[in-house]
Each structure stands twice: as C-alpha cells, then as structure tokens.
Structure 1
C-alpha cells in the first residue's frame, strides 16, 4: 500500500483515540497513526496534521505512523479507566501492541505533565515486521524540519521549535523508515529537546506505570451513577483531557475545521475556551465531585472578569486569556477528506453574545456556596461579578449573534435573554448566602423583571411554543435550557407544549436539529448532538423517563468504538461530523446518565 493510499485510509472517519495530559493532546487512528497533535498547547501548531491532509506540493507528512507489514486487522481500546491507549496490529507474520500515553503524575509534590508523547512497541506474537514513519511538519504543514542526530535521538528542528525523539530502536531504521523485525520491545519518547535523566526503557516503563496510576486514582474519586458507568467514566476522562492545566481554561474541542456536514463550509476552529461550553463542562464534572476543575476554572473566569472591569465580555478567549483570535484560512492544507477550508482562529471573539454574562456567573456560582474549596471566593469577587450582572441588565433585550454565533444576522435571542436572567437570579442567591440581603432583594427584583419580559415576548401563541427570539416565530432547541437553569417548571403547560412543538419540527428520531430557520450557510443538515441530550433531559424532568432512556440508549450507540463523540451526527447514516471530541457532547452523556440512572440504593 502506497503512502498516499495509507493516508487516505487514515483520515476516513473520526474513530480516533485521544491521549493527553491537560497540557497537550494527540489523536490516534485505529491503525496507531498519530494524525493530529498541536504543540505546545491545544491551540498551537499542529505538528501532526494529516487529519486535515498534507500540502499538495510537499511529500506526505504530518503524522507519526507505526506500519505493520501485511497488516490484516487491528484492535484498539483504553487500558481500563485511564487515558493510556493500546492498539494491537495483527499481520500475517505476527502482531505488535502499541501503547500510547502522555505522562501525567505527581512528582516532587507537583503535577508533572510535559509535552511528551510516549509510544511503547511490544511484539505480541510471531515476528512482526514494522516501519516507523515519523514526519512532523511545522507552520500548519508549510515547513519541513531539518534533522540532526545523536547516539539515541533525532532532533526535528523547525522554524520556532524543536522536537526530540529519544528511542532504543535502531536509529538508522527510524531515520530511513526501514522495515525491520520487531524482536524485542521498543520505546519512542517524543518531546522537548532535553536529555533523559535515566535510561530509555526505564523512563518509558516508569512513566507509564505512574500515568496509569494517576488516572485510576482520579477516576476512583469520582461520584458516578449505577447505570452506564463505562460511558460516564470515558466521558469524564475525555472532558479532563480537554482542560488546560496551565490556566484552567477548557477547550470546546481538540480540533479545527472538521465540517459540521460534508461540503458545507461550516468549518470552525474550536481549540479555544467558550465561557458557555466551559460552564457546562464544569457543571458536569462538579456533579461527579471533580472539585479541582471548578477551582481552576473559577480562577480563569475571575481573571476575565477582572480584565473586563465591567465592560463587554467576549464569548470566547484563548487558553492564556488571549482576547484576539483573528480568524484566517490555511490555504496549503486541503482539509478533512479534502473538504476545506481549514480555519485558524475564530471570528466569534468579535461577537456580542449576551448569554456570556449569565454563563460566567453560572460558571462560578457554586464556588460561593461550596464549603469544600481550598481557596473560597471573596466578597471582592462577588462585587466584580455584580459588574457582569449590570452588563446583563443593560443588554438582555438587545440584539446579538446568539448562542449559535450567527455571522450575518442579529436578533434578541431568547437564550441570550434567558442567561441574562440567570445572571441576576444567581447573583441574588449568592448575595443571600454571603449575608447581603439588600443586594439579594435588588437582584431578585431585576431577575423577575427580565423573566416577565421573556415570558411575554418569547412565547408565540401561533407556534404554541417559546421561540428562538423575542417577538419571533422560529423554533430553536436552545430554549430547552429554560428548565436546565431553573427558569420555568418543566411541567408548566407552556414548556410541555414547547417541547412537543420542537420535537415535531426538529426531531429526527433520537436526534435533534438546532433550529429551523436558515442561517448564514442555509439550513443545517446534521443533528447537533448537544440538542439531542437537551431533549432527553427535558423529557426526564417532565416524567417521561422511559422515553428519555430509549433516546439515551440510541445516542450512546452513536459513540465511536472508544466511547467518544464529535459535534454532529448525520441522521441518515449515523456518521460523525464536526470537531472532535466535542466537550458539549460528552457533557450530555454524563448529565443524562446521572439523571436517568437507577439509584444505587434501588439497584443493590
């Protein structure tokens, strides 16, 4: 099989494993090829980018492959409740196991999580013949590295950074991509241009053992439901892998430019932190008692609040609080399955999305009420949040781009008004808790004022539903969040009717479309997985649990072999589309399982 044929096969779907350590992450296909990895962090330069193709005028590159001669089939799974991935390649002459992980463990009383990918190759049967093909690229595939060599390492020197492969494999075989017999284990450590302090095999083995132990201990502390435990644990680990330890930010996904649907131009860069998406992630992890994430995210959010100083909050920021995420197109990468464009940056940073104020306050509200935190919020933190609340009061009835980030149309979106109400409501609750009764009274009055506007203007007598904008006429699955944030009783006749109308117009079996009105690119053609989970949650709240369970089981069946989901699903083929893994989707798995599962007391 030629290189070109192999590359075509390797980007054919989103059956990708994820390894990482909350510093960086790598996506690995079912044949053990690393097809996506950005350094030095999630939104950095993809040194492995074959998921989005290679420049047409250059030799194929942007991948880290372990090829087995006469490969017949492969198996792939995670090692128990860890982020350590194992792929077994079976061939006519033998089999090889590839163990992939990024080191993460406590060392010298602190977390150790270097930008290092470790690949351990072990012969399983026979005499497997393998070829190691390590072809990093820089500047989004535009720059080839220059190579220098040592006795046990190869340095891949790029314009702005250097990668070092340290290995006990024959260096000549790696350098020349020579096919050779794998008669004994081989370790490949790819990371910073630094010398190892101990032997190669010892380091790889030690790091693997300690990384496995870290993940097992992390999972051991989680509170999980009785049912669907495997699905929930994999979702939780995946969400953890999408968090950036350095600042507390949470990316919406690890990729850019996987189309929401084939040939639609709906290709976006999701490697940034949306305050909306991150709130839902933190809330899901909180439900599982993963408290440390809430503390880290609280710090990240309060930096945004302090920097804003009472002015406009962007819906999205960089991992290091970067406020400018200028969007540009990378012309030399053809895109996923050749479906460009490949975009870097996201225009949404320039948008006015008024739900951001509510999402900020919702994201930190529990921190004020939870006595377990090591560094609880202060009164000054509350006063700064009040600045966000005042912004919400000023814009709850003003047009914006909405939560779906429409680029050429502004309306007074119901979900934006709803989250402005949530901002005032949660400020009232926080004020009550911290002993500020007058402030609590004032915020409660403001919340009630906003609520009455929404109830009067978002309800459509014609559609018998709450609609997507005040005084509007179109349906939108986002209004199902009314029950999620406690705005209205789920059994209120208006909410029951709203769900019925949304199901009728937007439901596609177990799946849900986002909205019925055409957007900048026409009408959406794939279901948005998060909306499907919102429908399940709403059904459960209304007492329709068996129906909700059936839909939930159907959605779980849409996960890939490793238990992960992207953003969108083709309702006809079941094929995954959109950026991957999508945190919104993994949140849905956790939330619905927690709501629908039988209790431990009733199960045992």
Structure 2
C-alpha cells in the first residue's frame, strides 16, 4: 500500500496519514468491530444480520461494549496480524506496554482476546440485548460471569484465564500483569448456557493458530502493485462471506451515516444481488472459481419462478427475504445520527439491473471454467431470469442507487437488462443448443440497445445520461464499457466520460451523482473511483489509471479498510463499514491492470470478452 509519506491533502505538501477507525473481525458467521483504543463496540449474534449485543457504535450510553485498556493514560495503535483478520492493539504507558490480540474463532460464535501485559489492565464487559433495548441479568462466576437476557433465550459467558481480580462494579475486572486469555461465548438457550458453564477452555494457542491459518489460506496468489491492499481486500471479502452457503454481505454494519447528523443511514447487513455479484466477479478474476460458484448457486436457488425472479434486491444470509425496515428510536445513533434502522425499505423496490448483475457473473464463470454441467443443472433458473427480463425490460425502477419514490427508465438498468438478454443468448446457443430461443433473446437485446441509442439522440445531448427524466450524468454510466455494451473509445461514450470528469470528479475522487430527491450527495463514492480507473485501463491509459488507483487507496483507513463514502479532505470514512463494494472493486481493478500490463488483454477488450452490440 502507499506509505503515509506519499499521501497529501491535495492542498499543500503536508503528508496526510490514513485515519484510524475500527478494526474488522470475522469468523464468516458474524463480525465485530474493535475501536483503536481496544473497545469492541459492535457484535451481532449469532449472525451478521442478528441483533447486536455490543452496539456502542450506535449509542455511547445504551449500547453494550467490551473493553480492555490501561486504567492510566496511554497511547494506542492497531495493526492486523500478518495477513489475517486478527487485530492487535498495543498500549503504551509510562509504566509499561500491553498488547491485546482480538479475533473471532472459526466455527464458534465467540470473541477471543489474548493479552500480554507488563501492567494491570481494566476489563469491562457490558453486554446488552436486542440492540440495547434490554440490559443483562448477571451471575458472577469464579472465572468471570454469565450475562443473560432477562426474558430468556440468549446469554454470553465471560471467561478470564490468567491473573485477574474482581473489582467492585459488577462488570469490571482487573487483569494482568502477565498473559491472560479472555473469552466471551454466546448461547441461544438455557441448555447451551449450562453447557457454557461446564465447558473447559480450549487451548488458546491452538485456537489462535487455527484462526491464523484459516485466514492465511484464504488468500489468493497475486504479484503486482499494492499487494498489501489486495490481500486486505481479499480478507475483507472472505470475512463478509457467510461460510454456510457462500453468500456475500454488502457490509458488516447498519446505520453508519453517509453524513454525520443527517438521515442517510441504512442497514446493509444483507446479501445484495448487485454488490455480491461484484464481489463474486472479483473472486473469479483473482483465481477462486469455487467461491464464485458457491455464491452463484446461492443466488440461483433463491430465484422466484412465479413473479419477478428477484422480488427483492437483497436477501438474508440464509436466502430468505427481508421485509421492510424499522427504526430503533431508543438509540441515539452514530455521533447522534438518527434514526438507527434495522432492515431496509429497499426490499420493496423494483430494481431492474440485478438479474443482469448475476447473469454477468454466471457468464464469466462459464467462460472461465467451461462448466457446461453447472449451466445445464441450473438452466431452469437462468431461463427464468432471462425470460422475465425479456418480457419486462422497459419497466421503470429505482435504479442501482435505490432512489426512494423516484422511479424512472434509468440507463444503467436498461444496459443491465441488455446484459441479461445477451448472456442468455450466448448460453442458450453455446451450451444448451437452443438456437431459436437464443435468437429470440438476441433480438430483444438488440431492441433494448436501439432504444438506448434512440433515447440518446432524442435528448439532443452529445453524451448519455442517467435516465429519461434525469438528464444529468451519474457514475453508473462508467460501467457501460465494463459490460461490453459500448467500446470505451466510442464517440458518444467519450463525450460521456468527458462530462463525468467535468461534473463528478474532483481531485480524482468520483461522486456517484451530484444530488437526488433527498438532497446533495456530500461525499465521493469509493466504488466509483475504481470504475473510472477500469475505464482508463480499457482505453490503454495506464498512467491515468494508476493515478486514480493511487488516489482511491487514500480512502482506506490505517488498517486498509474501506467504507462506502470518504471525506475527500480528511479521508475520514463515511457510511457502513467495511463495505464490500470498494474492496471487490480494488481486486477487480488490480487484476485487470495486471493482465493489461502483461499484455494478456489489449486496450478496449474485457478479459472475458463479450461481443458488444453495435
């Protein structure tokens, strides 16, 4: 990754370091966030999309937390432990040093905190249940405490192994000096609570080494620029993967605001068809067709045969639909950004691009593996997806930006409908040998393309625009050459790119659009910067692409993690965190750059080329 000395504010020569933010922990069932000063402030149990027992992230007073810190003044710093999702927090005080290793063990909903300290540390464990709505009943034990939901059904067991002393307050302990292992186990019923009381502590060294090896084995070979950033993004994608079925989460959190103090905050702890398809493409290009196939199978098995194949743009990690959203009015929100939301009202939106998002990855998977058997086995779902789009492609929708109450015929959605038909045509002809069906789908794809170009001509503008009623540009137009709809040097797209550079790009950061019906878009969208870099790769302009890649890396925190948005002056992350979009985009962009520099592809050609429509 770029060194701190290379980063500037854009307004002078003073270096700008990556901001410190939360460390991301995962066991591919759920996740946690640990603050730079050693406080776990986010931990949904038992799954990514469950209620959180630690949510001080969303309310400093009511949200539960789990801290290990010196009781005297200290400085702290954080790193990841050697290509893993294990976070190390080091405390420096005038009386000595302490180190805390945090990780979620593979196969168990628990938090492990391994401590080596020269000084006594104060441990505070204060779980709450149902996002802070219920405080915990507790029983102090010889080795810690058992915290239970007062209404039953949930509990966490705190185990402290090593030098420790119970302090006066019910949830405070002193630990150290020396080596201490602290474990917090989660259980969902009374029988599990009793088992937790009796279960011996597994050898801490074995648990830590097993966790370390799990993450290190999940990396893929890559030799190119920004290797550390590539590996960290891969570890985030792995950490946002639900291991049971290969589903890919859009983000680990809910309700981290785009703008602090305003209302743009949403729950992203779901499997968005679009976001996850981008990540599956990244995994495939990076060399993991198995993980890509697992996700495709998950999504194809959720296809609805009776209506719109994807009635919702996102699903829970178990493949069931989420309906609506509710506001947790008892929580103050991150830095008083209200409301805190659980669920997402976009579940009721029509989004016309998502079938194409998935089908694009299906095509790339087949082109990479030549797995005809897989296509034939899931032809029932592929046929359903393409046939529905063929009948309904001209339906207004909320677009990939999920505009609320602002449906239109959006150009990006139209292009993704074209992708659906084009993929269907290729697979029907080359795998299924259904020539008549293939030709009918190709005809519809050509009709969609003609409508898009006719609409552009009727607009009297030299460039493409966001939608029929929305005659401004948006960053989604950058994807058109990435999906093979248009060559990157096509005259109309060249004008579109010129317009995007003029309107949406500042200091090589890219805004998704300038405003919507909720107001002004305040901050750049981290994914869009990588889209722009990929366009310049397709144009063969490696210098410009490298400038953009380098600038997008400034959006990362000191631990190499990306949020949805970034403050272009302070590089402070905004929105849910860590976000799947930019991590997937970083991998895809670096793989494309590597192939271009190795002359594997030529400018204007996708590494898995589809024949673009004329």
What TM-score do the two structures reach when normalised by structure 2? 0.88
User: Once structures 1 and 2 are overlaid, which stretch shifts more, 591-600 or 394-403?
Assistant: 591-600
User: Once structures 1 and 2 are overlaid, which stretch shifts more, 16-25 or 302-311?
Assistant: 302-311
Conserved 8 A contact 2:249-2:272 = yes
Q: Does 2:498 match 1:500?
A: yes
Q: Does 2:209 match 1:209?
A: yes
Q: Does 2:327 match 1:329?
A: yes
The SS at the match of 1:348 is helix
Determine which of 285, 290, 313 is the counterpart of 1:315. Answer: 313
Determine which of 122, 129, 133 is the counterpart of 1:138. Answer: 129
Counterpart in the other structure of 1:362: 360
**Aligned residue pair count:** 570
Counterpart in the other structure of 2:108: 114
Determine which of 228, 232, 235 is the counterpart of 1:234. Answer: 232
C-alpha deviation, 1:437, in angstroms: 4.4
Conserved 8 A contact 1:367-1:377 = no
Q: Hey, what's the Cα distance between the residues in 1 that align with 2:37 and 2:320?
A: 36
C-alpha deviation, 1:168, in angstroms: 1.2
Determine which of 533, 537, 561 is the counterpart of 1:536. Answer: 533
Counterpart in the other structure of 1:7: none
Conserved 8 A contact 1:458-1:471 = no
Q: Hey, what's the Cα distance between the residues in 2 that align with 1:136 and 1:245?
A: 26
Counterpart in the other structure of 2:71: 69
C-alpha deviation, 1:390, in angstroms: 1.8
C-alpha deviation, 1:451, in angstroms: 1.4
User: Once structures 1 and 2 are overlaid, which stretch shifts more, 519-528 or 435-444?
Assistant: 435-444
**CA deviation profile, 1:177-215 (whole Å, cap 9, x unmatched):** 556462221111112344489853x52211101111122
Q: Does 2:59 match 1:43?
A: no
The SS at the match of 1:408 is coil
**CA deviation profile, 1:316-337 (whole Å, cap 9, x unmatched):** 1111222233211101110111
Q: Does 2:396 match 1:399?
A: yes
Q: Does 2:474 match 1:445?
A: no
C-alpha deviation, 1:172, in angstroms: 2.4
The SS at the match of 2:146 is strand
Determine which of 147, 151, 154 is the counterpart of 1:156. Answer: 147
Query: What are the equivalent positions in structure 2 for 1:74-89 lying under 5 Å apart?
Result: 74-89=76-91
Q: Does 2:30 match 1:24?
A: yes
Counterpart in the other structure of 1:33: 39
Conserved 8 A contact 1:118-1:189 = yes
Shift in CA distance, 496/402, structure 1 to aligned 2, threshold 3 Å: same
Counterpart in the other structure of 1:300: 298
Counterpart in the other structure of 1:188: 182
User: Once structures 1 and 2 are overlaid, which stretch shifts more, 406-415 or 586-595?
Assistant: 586-595
The SS at the match of 1:590 is helix
Determine which of 245, 248, 258 is the counterpart of 2:246. Answer: 248
The SS at the match of 1:377 is helix
**CA deviation profile, 1:99-119 (whole Å, cap 9, x unmatched):** 111122xxxxxxxx2111111
C-alpha deviation, 1:42, in angstroms: 0.7
Counterpart in the other structure of 1:485: 483
Counterpart in the other structure of 1:9: none
C-alpha deviation, 1:171, in angstroms: 6.2
The SS at the match of 1:34 is strand
What TM-score do the two structures reach when normalised by structure 1? 0.89
Determine which of 424, 427, 430 is the counterpart of 1:427. Answer: 424
Q: Hey, what's the Cα distance between the residues in 2 that align with 1:174 and 1:41?
A: 33
Shift in CA distance, 174/298, structure 1 to aligned 2, threshold 3 Å: farther
User: Once structures 1 and 2 are overlaid, which stretch shifts more, 479-488 or 358-367?
Assistant: 358-367
Q: Hey, what's the Cα distance between the residues in 1 that align with 2:341 and 2:457?
A: 38
C-alpha deviation, 1:308, in angstroms: 5.2
The SS at the match of 2:301 is helix
C-alpha deviation, 1:410, in angstroms: 1.0
Conserved 8 A contact 2:323-2:347 = yes
Shift in CA distance, 174/251, structure 1 to aligned 2, threshold 3 Å: farther
C-alpha deviation, 1:52, in angstroms: 0.8
Shift in CA distance, 54/181, structure 1 to aligned 2, threshold 3 Å: closer
